[in-house]
Each structure stands twice: as structure tokens, then as C-alpha cells.
Chain A
Amino acid sequence: MGEKRFMKGNEAIAEAAVRGGCRFFAGYPITPQNEIPEYLSWRLPEVGGAYVQGESEVASVNMVYGASAMGVRAMTSSSGPGISLKAEGISYLAAAALPAVIVNISRGGPGLGSIQPAQSDYLQATKALGHGGFHCMVFAPASAQEAVDVLYDAWDYAERDRNPVLVLMDGCLGNIMEEVELPPMKELHDEDLPEWSLTRRNGRDWQGNITPIYTEPILEGLNAMAGEMYKGWEEDDVKVETFMTEDAEYVVVAYGIAARVAKEAVLTLRAEGVKIGLIRPITLFPYPKAAIRDLDYTQVKGIIDIEMTVPAQMREDIELQVMGRCPVYEYGRSGGCLLDDDGVLEAIREVLEGGEA
């Protein structure tokens, strides 16, 4: 059994990262994720790791780039405005085939937006984290415990793929306290450092080099390899929770904090005899296409996309799988206004009664 603790989501992320092998963190203060760098600033030195408060988000992600090139498990975290600044570095990580974990504890946008929670970075996370047409696996945990589980394994995916991994949570999940069970510390040894790492040249007779610059036709080949990698994710790595969808006539699709509120609504409506279920993507990329595509549309009368952002950003991904077989509705709050049980319930009831959510 793991060790049980009562922790803020952000602190749980930080501790799980350490236990998952993270030994380098660089970041820049931004609300609502400050507990992550604060925690790691003292925790990493305890385990022989290094923490740097960067002069900017841009510098921080490039520090991660340098540490990752040495084969060390490295991480940075931020919120929307800072993730935009990291976009360059994340693109370079993908280009140089360097693993890393990036955490976005998201808030209202666009621009400086609000410091209150929102799920306004879905499109950025899943479609274009930076220039040049690349993807990262995107995990969207819905609890502190799920965040712990995701962080603990995040580098296994990142190192397998030699590609950065994004963890997308909102400021609400980052700041509420919940019970978590922490896994044991992963033991990592110097001899386990990846072969490509630039840790040392001694004993190696080939030139170690890592670069984000290529010329044609090499770059085209690498682009094609990345495409194959993304296809592999769709086959092997999709994570999704389906809840009470077997007989459902209405299906709510929601991730993260929105899914927790939506689940309460589903339970309330089920108690009233409404046949309603929930699909909760845990990976936003690869998207759980099959869970939505393979619903029985002779039975399903409507899909309701619930997100803590306005307008809904995931809707197009849902519609691509529904393919017009039933109506898709959306409901959300935004700009730091939180979803609440009554609002979500009311929005779903409107759909059930034949109105527009």
C-alpha cells in the first residue's frame, strides 16, 4: 500500500513527479500553479535533484530542454499565459525528440484572462502547443489521485516516445485538497540513462548530438515518423472513463473538473429514472474517439458537451465522431466562473425537455 496524505492538487502533482523520477524543474511564478514550483524548490534538493526559478517561462522550458538532453527526467509547469510563452520550447523539445513533462494548471483566457480556474486551453493543448505541426500526449486528470497516477507514469510515456507530455488540469483541481495515495519512489540509476543522453562522452566512441534543426529530406522523414507515433497512441494509449452509457439515451462528454460536476448531475438524473451516462476523456490526445463513435445512435438521442469554458472547445472533436447521428449540445461557464451542480443539472434538463442547452 502506498502512503496516504491529504494534499492540494498542485502539491500532489509535485510529489508524484518526484516519485516518478523527476530530478529537474524550472518554472516561473504564475497563479494558479504556484504550489508546484514552491514545493519542488525544497523537495527536489532533498532527493539530489535541481530546481531553478527561471527568469521567464521561455527560459524555464529551455532549461528543461538542456536537462532533458542529459537524460534527466525534467519538468516545467505553468498556466495558460505561461504555456503560450513555452510554446517555442515545447516545439523544440518535440523537434529534438526530448522527453519532458509540462503541466498546465489552466485559468480563464484569452490574454492575461483571469487567475480563476477555467478549461480554456483545450484547443491549445490538443491541436497546436507550438509551431510546426506536432502533438504531445495530453492527460486530463479529474482528481488529485488521478493526477498522482498520471505524473508517476508520465516520463515512461515521454521517454518511450522521446516526446514531451502535457498534463492539463484547471486551477480548481490544482487548489482543492483531497486524499491521495502516493506510490513508492521510483529507483533510477545512472546506468538506466537513455543511450541518446549527453550525460557523458567517456566510454562512448560516437559523437553525441541532439538538434532541432534538420534539412530535407530528413525532416520530412521525421515528420512522417511522428505521424506514425500519433497513430500508435490512438491504438494503444487512449484512456477514457465511460459511466452508465450502456442504456443511455443521453450522454454527457466532459473532462477534468467538468466531468466531476457532470457525474453528480448524471447520478441525480439516474435517480429520477433518466437514462443518461458520461464519457470522460482522460487522454485528450489521443482523443477517445471510439467511445463516442461506437455509441448506439439508434438509442442515443443527444450528446451534451460540458466544459468550463465558453464557447466549448472540445465540441468539434465530439462532432467528428457523432457524424450527425444525433444532436450535440453544449453548456459551460467561463472566465473564472465555476461550473456548479445546479447550473449543469438545469442545462441537461433543458436538453431533456427538448430545448437547447
Chain B
Amino acid sequence: MIAYIVRRILYAIPILIGVNILTFVLFFVVNSPDDMARMNLGMKRVTPEAIENWKAERGYDKPLLFNSASQGVGQVTDTIFFQKSLKLFQFDFGTSDSDRDIGYDISQRMWPSLAIAVPVLLIGLLVNITYALLIAFFRATYIDIWSVVLCVVMMSISGLFYIIGGQYLVSKLLHLMPISGYDTGFAAVKFLILPVLIGVVGGIGSGTRWYRTLFLEEINRDYVRTARAKGLSEGIVLFRHVLKNAMIPILTGVVVVLPLLFMGSLITESFFGIPGLGSYTIDAINRQDFAIVRAMVFLGSVLYIIGLLLTDISYTLVDPRVRLS
């Protein structure tokens, strides 16, 4: 197992370098350091000297990939690519264009993201599995058919509709919760209810359909027939046997997204004014603060790779037949 994990980590390195090169090309070649300086220094009274100063202070005055003016290793290390992109491997994210430490901001902003993402995941999982089991129980009945129709309708609706509709209904018409905002400590709860509720409702359609498919696949297996033949109730068959055996694909779907929960949701956080990493990223894109975007892309890649690794490991935990080699 350890050898497998080490090997997977080693495989991750070229992937991350690839991601790094791609983002580097996008952000530095397409958008030159001069452009970055101009964006940062504003539109008025920007002199060429100010641009040069800005670049020099942030190390953007170096060549992109190869520094012929340096000697030896410096020809590679004294470049923007090495200084800005490869340092991400040390989780040194540097500073944003507004001179804020990106690592510090990430450490502060991941908590609000988690405050929404974790309840949405857990409650959503509970609701979706329960509903899917219920549909599986009533399989091939009108309840099944209409539930599937409902799920298809729900998954066809844009997430933005749920957000705007939810805010309109719950906050504007019923006046039950704040339309947006956030606070710290216990006071945050009242701001979290609505986005969590919307997140759960918005995910019912796709989640339930997926789990229903899994359960129906299991429900026709021999061991289920055997369990029924033994006289077990349908509830016990579903919850004790079917659910347990459907855990592998469920885990696959859940574990892979666990690390990405840190990244937050771009639209939800933006609409609800949640100061998480999702709104951090979208804010950076809008302001063309590429130092932040680059850091978030890299972080997202790392977390995704961790998610895949955790998925593989979790297989061995839920199914002893799976061996990693």
C-alpha cells in the first residue's frame, strides 16, 4: 500500500508540472508582466518608469523561461517560470497584486467554504440516498416513474436558478432568512441555512438518479434474492445489504470531492456573500489578479490528485477484495 501511495505521488509530480506549464503559458505569455503592471497601477498617469519599478519589485522583470544574462543554474532559476510557478510546489503562493499574502488568505477563507460545502455534502448524501432507496423500493411503480421525471427536471434546472429562486422565495417573499451575508461564530448559522438548503435541493436531482441506478443494479443480484428468500424484510434488504454493497461507487463519488470542498463554490459564495475560496477565485478572475488564480488552479490540481488517491485507498477499506499494487 505504501509503495502504491508513493508511486502515485511520484506520478502526480509530472501532472502538476504540466498544470503549471499550462497556467504559466496562459497567464504569463498571453498576459505579459507589462499588462499585469498596467492593470495593477491603474489607468491614470501610468508612466513607463512606474511599470518597470512595479515589475522589478515583484521579480517580473526577469526573462520568462531562460535567463541568458545569468550564469550556470541561474539561467534556469533566475526566471519568472522558476520563481513564480515552481515555487508553488513549496506551497509558497506569494503575494497578490494588492500585496496580500495569498497563503494567509487561503488559510482564512477555506473555513467559510467548508462551512457550506460540508453540510451540503453530508445532508445531500443523506437526503439523496434516502430518496433513492425509497424510489428503489417502489421500483417500476408510478412513484418510481414520476420521481425519475422529477429528478430529471431538477437536474435540468441551472444552479443559478435555485440560488436566485431560493433567495427570492425564502428571503424576499417569506422573509425568513437573510438574502446574503456572513458572520463569524454561531452568528454564521443563520447565513448558512439558505445556501446549504439550496445546495442540497439543487443536488437532489442528479444525486438521487445516480444512487437509484446503483441501487437498482444491486437489487437484482443473487445475494439480494437470497436475502429475500431467507425472509428478511425489504427494509433490511435495502439498508443492510443493498446499501452496503453500493458503497463502492458511492465512496468513489464522495471521496474524490472531499479535498475539493476546500475550494468552495464559485457562484454560491458570490451570490450569498460568503467569504470563501470560491468567491476568492471569482473575485481574482474579475480583477485579473493572476497570482491568486494561478495559486488556486495549482491548489485545485493538488487537491484533485489527493482526491483520486483517497478514492483508491478507500476502495480497499470498503471492499477487502481490492488490493492496490
Query: Is B a genuine binding partner of A?
Result: no
Point out residues on A near B: beta carbons under 8 Å: none
